[in-house]
Amino acid sequence: MSDLIVLKFGSSVLQNEQCLPAAVHEIYRHVRAGRRVVAVVSALGNTTDALVARAHAWCDAPPAAAYAALLATGEAETAALLSLALDRAGVPSEILDANRAGLRTEGPICDSRPTALDRGRMLRLLDRVPVVVLPGFLGRDNDERTTLLGRGGSDLTALFVAWQLQAHCRLVKDVDGIYDCDPATNPQAARFSRLNWEDAAQLGGAVVQPKGVSWAQERGLVFEVGCLGSAAGTLVGPGPNVVAESEPARSPTRVVLLGLGTVGLGVYRALCAQPDAFEVVAIAVRDVASHTDHAPADLLCSDALDAVRRPTDLVVECIGGTSVAVQAVQLALDTGRSVVTANKAIIARDGRGLDERARRSGAALRYSAAVGGSVPAIESVRRLAQSGVIDEIEAVLNGTCNFVLDRLHDGVSFDDAVVAAQKAGFAEADPTLDLDGTDAAHKLAILAREAFGAELVADWIDRSGLDKLDLAEIEAADGGRVRLVARCRRTPSGLQASVRTELRRANGPLGSVRGEHNAVTLRPATGRTLFISGKGAGRWPTTEAIVADCIDLRALAARPATAVAV
């Protein structure tokens, strides 16, 4: 598959604003797999019908140009809302309207055909951000008027963009592919894993408009139809037709959640929003009475180890610390329960040992959120390490420190900057481990294991955090930016690792990282340097990474694993 993918989200998927996080999950799973994404969107739910009614309330035969301009507001609103949802989750994106995208059309204003795209601009944007959001259904004609692509126009937009960019195209629908008959009325309906264009146009009319299928066939474009969160789907192309093997119905993955704090509550709400996929069966908290407003009382308990012993498939650890967290994670893995955690301290200290426990019991351990929030740092390091030798990692890994440093550059006092970070939810009540560089050292140790296969002891990494910062460095920055830089590199004498404050160019890769954002630069022995960035602190970026791990584990399992009784 190309590293470029076009995902189209229609109104059947985006029925209202509450559906936007599900689209974010779908986009993010491709981003963390190393793909650049163009997200093409339709108007939410019945928005287009409502806009049509508004137009006809003014006149029986609305002028085409005014009619098109009014209907275009539906897709534009969805694109803006999706970009906001991506930003909350810590996934950088940029919106392109039809004009900026150079999406030109010809033909009638309300039933146009796409003819051109500014391919260079879109590719340049995708070099800067992993996601571009584009309203579907819309274009611009040679008179600079807004045009509509007619019925099925958003599908056509996605197919056209994919063809122009030579990208894979996945039309995300509310069904997992094209069937030989309506699966809603016939339980014996069979899904095609491959289907030729001619039959797709005939059978898929309720899912994919024949106009889009015919357009793809004329250009030999192969595309995919599938649903949110699933790798399954129907590949539409030259054929031959292949019926997918029937799959047994799956029960939701049972989840025990440890912790219901800032991140834990975000994870709980995200999992509850996917009831067909996940069922939270227990939540361990320190004080049950203080959490009854957030979750049903019958799910709450005060003993993390007791919660882990309950019948479950997956344990999500969000309590932090090392003592109870380590015991709970070890117990879960030893008894065959898979684990997702954001706890960088236990992964840095005993990640290899926990991986071994998981291997012995047949469980799985995932910890993407332990480094960088929703920045896919671990996944990127793994991919690059598999393709060749990494010479150096250089990164800004602590959002709290980055936020505080920005405030210092703005002239705020150190104490006030820390308080502001705490109020914003980026710093703990006791921020010592952030400010002294311990947190960044833990994260660097995890990345070093993935990149170099080396076990770095975080406490032995040379570090000098903000607690040792001379404020004169800020005053002397002269337009530059002081950053807490974590570095690990190969040298003739072995690996050298450090965490220390450094002055960087304000417009450089690490110097330009602002606020709670994290960034990672990976330098391979040969080839192009890789730079990734995004929000590395806060509820929603961490939640996004944890939920992505949960979705991955569910997708990997043919059915929920049966845990060992204790």
Which residues sit opposite 116 in a β-bridge?
104
Residue 222 and residue 237 in contact, taking contact as beta carbons nearer than 8 Å: yes
Q: Which of 199, 93, 209 is nearest to 153 (CA)?
A: 209
- Which residues are known catalytic residues? 443
Please provide the average confidence, as pLDDT, over all residues in the chain. 93
The model's pTM is: 0.93
CA 487 to chain CA mean position, Å: 25
Q: Is 95 helix (H, G, I), strand (E, B) or coil?
A: strand
Average pLDDT for residues 425-439, to the nearest whole number?
Answer: 90
Asked if residue 240 has a cis previous peptide bond (ω within 30° of 0), the answer is: yes
Residue by residue, what is the 3-state secondary structure of 469-538? CCCHHHHCCCCCEEEEEEEEEEECCEEEEEEEEEEECCCCCCCCCCCCEEEEEEEECCCCCEEEEEECCC
Residue partners of 73: CB distance under 8 A and separation at least 6: 51
Show me where the domains of the chain are located: 4-174, 253-369, 377-537
What's the token pair of residue 342? 């954001």
Distance CA 135, CA 146 (A): 12
Does residue 560 have a pLDDT over 60?
A: no
CATH code assigned to 4-174? 3.40.1160.10
What percentage of the chain carries pLDDT values higher than 90? 83
Q: Which of 345, 513, 520, 510 is nearest to 439 (CA)?
A: 345
Class of domain 377-537: alpha beta
pLDDT of residue 209: 87
pLDDT of residue 221: 97
pLDDT of residue 2: 62
CA distances from 342 to 322, 455, 549 (A): 12, 19, 10
Specify the CATH architecture of the domain 253-369.
Answer: 3-Layer(aba) Sandwich (3.40)
Distance CA 305, CA 385 (A): 36
pLDDT digits (tens, 9 = 90+) for 374-411: 999 999 999 999 988 999 999 999 999 999 999 999 99
pLDDT digits (tens, 9 = 90+) for 63-101: 999 999 999 999 999 999 999 999 999 999 999 999 999
Residue 457 is inside which H or E element, if any?
none
Distance CA 71, CA 82 (A): 18
Does residue 316 have a pLDDT over 70?
A: yes
How many C-beta atoms lie closer than 10 Å to residue 496's C-beta? 13
